[in-house]
Structure 1
Amino acid sequence: MEANARNLERIFDGTVSYQIPLFQRPYVWTEEKNWCHLWGDIVDVADRYLSNEICRSHFLGAVVLERNNNVTGSIETRQVIDGQQRFTTLQIMMIAIRDICEKYENTKLYDRFDGLVSNKRSKVDLDEEAYKIWPTNSDRSAFEVVHQLNKYDLEQAHQLEDKIKNSQIFKAYHYFLRVLEVWFSEHNDVEDCLDALWQVVREYLQIVVIDLHSQDEAQVIFETLNARGTQLLPADLIKNFLFRKVIGSDKEIERLYTEYWLAFDSEFWREEVSQGRTKRPRIDWFLQNYLSLMLQDDIKVSHLFDSFKVYVNDTEDSYDKFNNRFFKHPKNTTEHLIALKEFAKLYQLITQPQDERVALFLYRLEAVGTATVYPLLLLAMKLWQHQPTELYEFLSTLESYLVRRMVCGMTSKNYNRYFTDVIKEIYRTKKESDGLISSYDIHKILSKSDSDSSRMPDDIELKSQLLERPIYGRIAQYKLRMVLEAIDAAAHHTKAESMPIQKNLTIEHILPEKWEKYWPLENEGKSPEDILEQESRRNTLKNTIGNLTLITDSLNPSISNGSWQAKRPEILKYSKSNLNRYFQLEAEDELSIWNEDKILKRADSLIGLFISVWCSPLAKQHEWSEDFADDIYIAIDI
C-alpha cells in the first residue's frame, strides 16, 4: 500500500469516481458526534484565513482506496474500502457550499465547487459516474436528491418522500446549509467568506489517502482499521466479508445484495433494543441467536463477527460435520445469504408476532425475563412454522418449564448453556428417530434433568412452593401479575391462550397487608406462644397466591385495609374478572368470612388452574387429589 497526504481539491479534481461498495454500511454520521466537529475544524482554519493569520494544513483523517480495473477510455474509478463516512460528509458539505454560492450569485465559485462534486456528463459513460462519490445502495436516492436540488431554498423539499427527508444524508445537507448561514452572519462580507472556504478546501484541508496495491488484502485492512467515525456493527463486517467472497459481475453482486441483504440495512434491524440490561441493534441479537443455533454453542454478542467467519469457513471446508442436522446448512456465500434472510423472517415472526399464541408466549416470556431461549425458538419456528399444533404444544411446554421454575424461585443464570445443550439433545434425538422431531420429544428432554440449575419442578414441588412460600414480594409484581392473568384466563376457558391479554391490572391482597385493625385473631384462651404462631402463619399466608387477586384500579386504602364485609363488594365492583367471581355473593354463602382456611382452599383451586395452563414434566406427573392437598395443608397447618 502507499500513503500520501492530499488536499481536497487534488482528491476530487479531475474526472474520477469514488465508489462505495454496496455491501458497506449506510451513511450514519450525525450532527452531535460528527458534523459539528468537522465543521468546527473547517471554520477554525477559515477564520484564521479571514484574519490574515498563518494557516496550517488541517488533517481530517484517512481514507483507504482500492483501484478498480478500468477498461481503456473509461474514467478512473476507485472503491472506498475505509473512510466512506468522512468522504460522503465532505461531499455533502461541498454540495451545500456550491448551492449557497448559487444563492449569492457567485458563479465562479459555484463552478469551482461543482467541479469537486460532479464530473462532466460529456466525460462519463454511466449516469452514476457523474457523481464524484457514488454511495452504497441504500443511500443513493437521498444522495441523488441532495446533489441535484440546485436550489438553496429547497422549494420542492416538502414534496420529497419521508424516507429521503428523514435520511442522514438529507439531514447533513440541511445542517451545513444552516451553519454556513450562521457563520456568514458573524462576518461582514459573504464574498470574503466564500473565498475563504474555497482557499481552505483548495489548500488547507488534507486527508491521508492510502492506495492499496493489487497484492494487498482489502478485507483484512477493512476489518482491522479503527476509523474515527461510528463503530462498525458486526453486521457491517459480516456483510463486507460475505460480499467480497462473491464471485460474479457487479450486477450479480447487486442482485444478491438487493434480494438478500438490503432489508438488514433498514432502520428496523439497526434500531437498538434491550435484552436484559444491555441495548444493542436488533440485528446483533438476531445474529447471536442464529449463530448459537447453527454452531450449537453459547455465542457471545461481542464475538459475532469472529464466530460468523468460523461458521462460514467450517461449512466450506468441513461440511460433513454439519450434515444430517435439522436442515441443510449453507455451504457457499449465496447459500449463507439465503439462510440469513430465511432465519431473519423467522426471528421477526417471534419478536413481532402476528399469531396470537406466539404473541401470548412472547408476553409471558418477557415477564419471565430471559432471552436465552431464542435459539431454541428459531429452531422450533424452522421445524413447525407450517405445523401450528406442534408449534403451540412446544410453546406451552417451554413456557411451563420457565414459569414453573420462576414461581419456585429457581435460578436462570445457567439457561444459556442449558438451552444450548437442549438443542444438542434434540439433534441426537433426531438421529435416533430418522429425522422426525415432535414437541413431545422436547417435552421429554425438558423433563429429564434432576439438577437444581435446570430441572422442571413437578406438581408436588410446585404446590409446596405456592402454598408454603409467599409469592408476593418474592418475585417482581409484573411477573406475578402475568401468572394471575393466566390463571384468570384459565378460569374462563381451559384454552387460556385463546383469551386476550389483560393489561394495567393491580394486584390486591384480600386479607390486607395491614390486617390488625379489622381482621383480629381469636386469641381467647391462647398462650403468648400460640398467638405468635397465629400471627406468623397469617403473615405468611397473606402473601401467598390464595390471598391475591387482580382488580382494574387500586382500592382506597381505607377500603383495602377495611373489614371483609366492606371490602368484598368493592373487589366485585372494580373487577368482573374470572378470579373475582370466586367472591360473588350466594344464597348459602361460604365466604361470609375470609381467613386462613379460606386462603388455602382458594389456593387449591388456583394451583389446579395453574397446572392446567403450565403442564408437568412428563416423568414426574402426579394425580391431583384432595388427599394430596390435605397432605400439603398439614405441613403448614398449626
Structure 2
Amino acid sequence: MAIIKHAARQTLGQLIGANNPVVTVPDDSQRQYAWTKKEIETYWTDIQKFRQARETGRESASEYFIGPVVTITDEHVKSRSLLDGQQRLTTSTILIAVIRDVLWQMGSPEARATANNMQRDYIARQAGRRDPMEYFLVLSLFDRDFFRDSIQDWSETTGKVRGVESAKRPSHKLIQEAYAYFESKIRAELFSFPDDEDGRLDWLDSLYECLIKGLVFVEIQTPTSSDANEVFETINSRGKDLSTVDLVRNFLMEKSRVESTKQRVNDTWRVLLDNFEKREEIERFLRHFWVSRHGDVKSHSLYTTIRSELTEKFATQPQNYTPKAFAAELEGASLRYVDLIHCSTGVEDFDEALTEIKTLNADALQPLLLAASEKNDYSELQDLVAACLSYYVRWTVIGTRESTLLEENLFGLAKEFSAGAQLSSVMSKVCNWIPDDETFREAFKGAELAKTTQARYVLEKLETRLRSDAGVDELVIAGPGKVHVESIYPQNPDAKYRLEDHGALLHRLGNLTLLSGRKNQSVSNRPFHEKSYIYEESALLISAKTGVARLWDANGNKWRPEGIDARQAEMADVAVDVWPGASRWS
C-alpha cells in the first residue's frame, strides 16, 4: 500500500511560483505534454464558466477544484517532484504566458509592468544578471528545452521568448497549439473593448486572478517514487491523464535498478517520440509489438498484461532478461514499425502493398508483418503481404465477414512467427484462410461499399488491371480532388427518376466509378442522358469501357437496376485476378 505523507488544498499560485518549491517533472517517471485540442477546449470552457460565476461574488463560486496532483516531497518540502498533474500545470502555465504576452503587446506602462510581474511571480525569474534562470515548473527531458525556449525564457525588455528550439516532437506541436488556441480566444474576448484599455486590463486581470487564486488542487505528498507511482496509477486508471505508453515507461523505470538501465529506457522513449508523428501511433505500436510476440490482447488490458508478464520474467530470468533488454527489443521493433506504417522500406513493390494496407486501415495485418520483418528482409515478404491483402479484401472488405476471426488468425500467426515458425509455413496458413474464387466472386457481385476510401481503393485497383489487360499506357491515378468516386445512378435523383430500391442500389460497386476532376454535385444528380458524355470521354477505363450505359433504359427514359447487376458481375471477374486466391502462391 502506498504511503501518503500529507494531502492538502493548494491553489495554482501555491503550487507554482516564486515563493514555492520548484515543481519538477522527474525524467524517470513522467510523460511528455499530451493535451490535444479536445482537452484544451474543455479546460478553457471550464475556466470561462468559473470566471463568470466568480464575478457574481458568491462564496460558492470563489474556487474551482481542478483535481489532485501527486508529488514526491522531501522531509522539509523544499522540493517537489511531480508524478501526476503535469498536463494541468503545464496548460495553466501556457495560459499565464499568453496573458503575459497579450499584456506586453498592449504597450502601456501598466500593461507591461503587469506582464513582467506575471513572468517573475509564476513562470520564471533571474535573481541577478549573472544568475541562472529559475523556472517554477521544470518539465521532463522530452519537453524541457522546448518549453523553456517557447514559453518560459521571456525577455522583459523585448517581450519575446527566445524561440530558437524547433518543434521536433508531437508534444512540442501540442504546446504550440495550446498557446495558439488560448491566444485566439483571449484576443476574441478583448475585441469587445476596442478603445477601452481599462476594460481590457480588467478582463485580463479577472482571468489571471481566476487562475492563480481560484484554481484549487489537492496535493498528495508521498515520500518515495514507488509510493507516488502507486497513487499515480490508481488516480489515472480511468482517465486521460495516463496512457499505456506512460504506464509502461514508469513501470520499466521502477524496475530499473541501475542508472545505465534507466538511461537505456529513456533513450528508447526518445526514439519513440522522435520517430512517430502522432502519439496515437506509439500507442498502436506498443499493442502491435506485444501482439506480435504474445498473441491477442485488448487495448484496455494491455498495461496490466505487460506488467504482469514482465514482472514474472524479470524475476525468473534476472540475468538474461531485464528492463534494458525489453527496451532494446522495443526500440528495434519501433524502427521497423515506422517503416511499415510510413511505407518507407525502400522496396518499391513492398511499399506499394503497404500503402494499400494504410488506405484500407487494415491494422490487423501489422503485427504479423512486424513479426515477419524481424528475421526476414523486406524484399522476402512480398508474397506474404500480397496474400494478406487478398485475405483481408476477400474476407473483410468484400466478404463483410466477422473481422474478429481474421484478427485472431493473424495475431496467433504473428506469435508463431516470433516463436520461430518459418516463412513458408506462415505463408501456407494465410493462403488456406483466403476465401476461394467462387465464394469471392459471388460476394463481389452483391457488394456495397459505403466507405468512400474503400470504394476508391477497389475501383483504382480494377482500373489498373483493366489498363494492364488492354495494354494501355500505365496511368498513375491522381489523389482525391483530382479523381473522385462517382455514383452513376445518383444520390439525389429527381423524384421521377428515383428507384424504389434507392438506398440498396446507391453504394453497389456496379453503380460506382471513377471520374477525373472535382465532383460536381449538380451534374452528378442529372439523369444519364444528360451526363453520358462524361463517361464516354473519360480517360479512365473503369468509366469508359465497363458498360456504364447499361444502367440507363434509353427507351423507357429511366434507370435500370439490372444494369448495376450486370456491370458488377463483370467487375467481379476482374476482381478475382486483382486479389488472387491461394492458387496464386501454390
Answer whether TM exceeds 0.5 for this pair: yes
Shift in CA distance, 241/121, structure 1 to aligned 2, threshold 3 Å: farther
Q: 2:33 aligns with which of 23, 27, 42?
A: 27
Equivalent position to 2:310, from 312, 322, 330: 312
Partner of 2:386: 396
- The counterpart of 1:303, out of the listed 292, 301, 307, is 301
**SS of equivalent residue, structure 1 residue 24:** coil
- Counterpart pick for 1:416 among 391, 394, 407: 407
Distance 1:182 1:264, change over 3 A: farther
CA distance in structure 1 between the partners assigned to 2:361 and 2:184 by the alignment: 42
Structure 2 residue identity aligned to 1:222: F
Q: 1:183 to 1:305 in 2, by over 3 A?
A: farther
Distance change (3 Å), C-alpha of 1:398 and 1:233: same
Which residue among 365, 371, 381 is the counterpart of 2:363? 371
Cα distance in structure 1, aligned partners of 2:69 and 2:413: 47
The separation in 2 between residues aligned to 1:310 and 1:149, in whole angstroms, is: 46
Pairing partner for 1:261 from 269, 288, 313: 269
Q: 1:345 aligns with which of 317, 327, 335?
A: 335
Contact 1:63 1:82 (C-alpha < 8 Å) held by counterparts: yes
Q: Distance in 2 between matches of 1:336 and 1:231?
A: 25
Query: Corresponding residue for 1:536?
Result: none
In structure 2, distance between residues paired with 1:505 and 1:217: 57
Q: How does 1:510-529 map to 2 (within 5 A)?
A: none
CA shift in 2, pair 1:509/1:239, >3 Å:
same
Question: Which position in structure 2 is the counterpart of 1:292?
Answer: 291
Cα offsets for 1:507-556 (capped at 9, x unmatched): 7989xxxxxxxxxxxxxxxxxxxxxxxxxxxxx9xx898x9986658999
Task: Tell me how far 1:373 sits from its aligned partner.
Answer: 2.0
Q: Deviation of residue 420 (structure 1)?
A: 2.3
Q: Which residue of 2 aligns with 1:527?
A: none
Decide which of 457, 466, 473 is 2:435's aligned counterpart.
457
2:147 alignment partner in structure 1: 143
Indicate how the Cα distance of structure 1 residues 345 and 620 shifts in structure 2: closer, same or farther if over 3 A, else same: closer
After superposition, the C-alpha distances for 1:293-343 in whole angstroms (9 at most, x for unaligned) are 12112x2122232232134224323569xxxxxxxxx93222333333322
Say which of 300, 319, 326 aligns to 1:336.
326
How far did 1:292 drift? 1.3
CA-to-partner distance for each residue in 1:214-243, whole Å, 9 max, x for gaps? 496221111111499853222222232223
Q: 1:65 to 1:360 in 2, by over 3 A?
A: same
Give me the whole-angstrom Cα distance separating, in 1, the residues matched to 2:68 and 2:135: 21
Aligned to 2:282: 283
Shift of 1:114: 2.0
What's the CA shift string for 1:344-398, capped at 9, x where partnerless? 22222222213543443245446766432221122233333x341x211111221
1:83 is the counterpart of 2:91: no
Structure 2 residue aligned with 1:210: 220
Q: Distance in 1 between matches of 2:94 and 2:525?
A: 62
> Kindly tell me: are residues 336 and 180 of structure 1, through their superposed partners in 2, closer, same or farther at Cα, counting changes over 3 Å?
farther
Q: Which moved more, 1:113-122 or 1:132-141?
A: 113-122
Which of 237, 246, 249 lines up with 1:239 in the alignment?
249
Q: Following superposition of structure 1 onto structure 2, how do residues 526-537 of structure 1 map, counting pairs within 5 Å?
A: none
Preserved contact between residue 505 and residue 551 of structure 1 (Cα < 8 Å): yes
User: How far 1:162 sits from its partner (Å)?
Assistant: 6.4
Aligned counterparts, 1:558-569, within 5 A: none
What aligned pairs does 1:102-251 form with structure 2 within 5 A after superposition? 103-104=109-110, 114-118=120-124, 121=127, 127=132, 130-145=134-149, 146-151=151-156, 154=159, 161=166, 167-168=176-177, 170-171=179-180, 174=183, 201=212, 206-214=216-224, 217-226=227-236, 230-249=240-259
CA distance in 2 between partners of 1:173 and 1:570 (Å) = 49
**1:42–1:441 distance in 2 versus 1, CA, 3 Å:** same
Distance 2:130 2:176 in 1: 28
**2:21 aligned with 1:16, yes or no?**
yes
2:445 is aligned with 1:470: yes
Distance 1:403 1:161 in 2: 42
Letter in 2 for 1:414: L
8 Å CA contact retained: 2:51, 2:206: no
Amino acid at match of 1:81: L
SS in 2 for 1:149: coil
Distance 1:122 1:479 in 2: 63
CA distance in 2, matches of 1:601, 1:192: 69
Amino acid at match of 2:429: I
Kept after mapping to 1: 8 A contact 2:26/2:82? yes
Output the CA distance in 2 between the equivalents of 1:303 and 1:617: 35
Within the candidate set 46, 68, 72, 1:37 is matched to 46
1:156 Cα offset (Å): 7.0
Give 2:315's aligned amino acid.
Answer: D
**Whole-angstrom distance in 2 between the partners of 1:407 and 1:90:** 50
Aligned-partner SS, 1:231:
coil
Residue in structure 2 matching 1:617, options 565, 568, 582: 582
Q: Which runs of 5+ in 1 are unaligned?
A: 272-280, 321-329, 432-436, 449-454, 511-539, 584-598, 622-638
Q: Distance in 2 between matches of 1:601 and 1:392?
A: 34
Distance 2:89 2:338 in 1: 34
Cα 1:264–1:175 shift into 2, 3 Å: farther
CA distance in 1, matches of 2:512, 2:199: 75
Q: Distance in 2 between matches of 1:339 and 1:620?
A: 32
Alignment of 1:64 onto 2:55: no
Residue number in structure 2 paired with 1:573: 537
Q: Provide Cα deviations, 1:439-493, integer angstroms capped at 9, x if missing partner.
A: x322311244xxxxxx423345556x37xx7345488786566445434434555
Distance in 1, Cα, partners of 2:375 & 2:411? 17
Q: Which runs of 5+ in 2 are unaligned?
A: 490-504, 548-563
For the residue of structure 2 that corresponds to 1:303, the secondary structure is helix
- Which structure has the greater CA radius of gyration? 1
Residues of 2 paired with 1:312 and 1:109: CA distance? 50
Query: How far, CA to CA, are the matches of 2:51 and 2:446 in structure 1?
Result: 63
Output the aligned Cα RMSD: 5.5
**Counterpart pick for 2:375 among 383, 401, 404:** 383
3-state SS of the aligned residue for 2:218?
A: strand
Per-residue deviation, 1:152:
8.9
Residue 630 of structure 1: aligned partner: none
Q: Is the 8 A contact 1:4 1:209 kept in 2?
A: yes
Aligned residues with identical type, % of pairs: 18
**What code does the residue aligned with 1:423 have?**
A
Alpha-carbon contact 2:152-2:161 (below 8 Å) kept:
no
Conserved? CA contact 2:18–2:122, under 8 Å: yes
CA contact (8 A) 1:472 1:480 kept: no
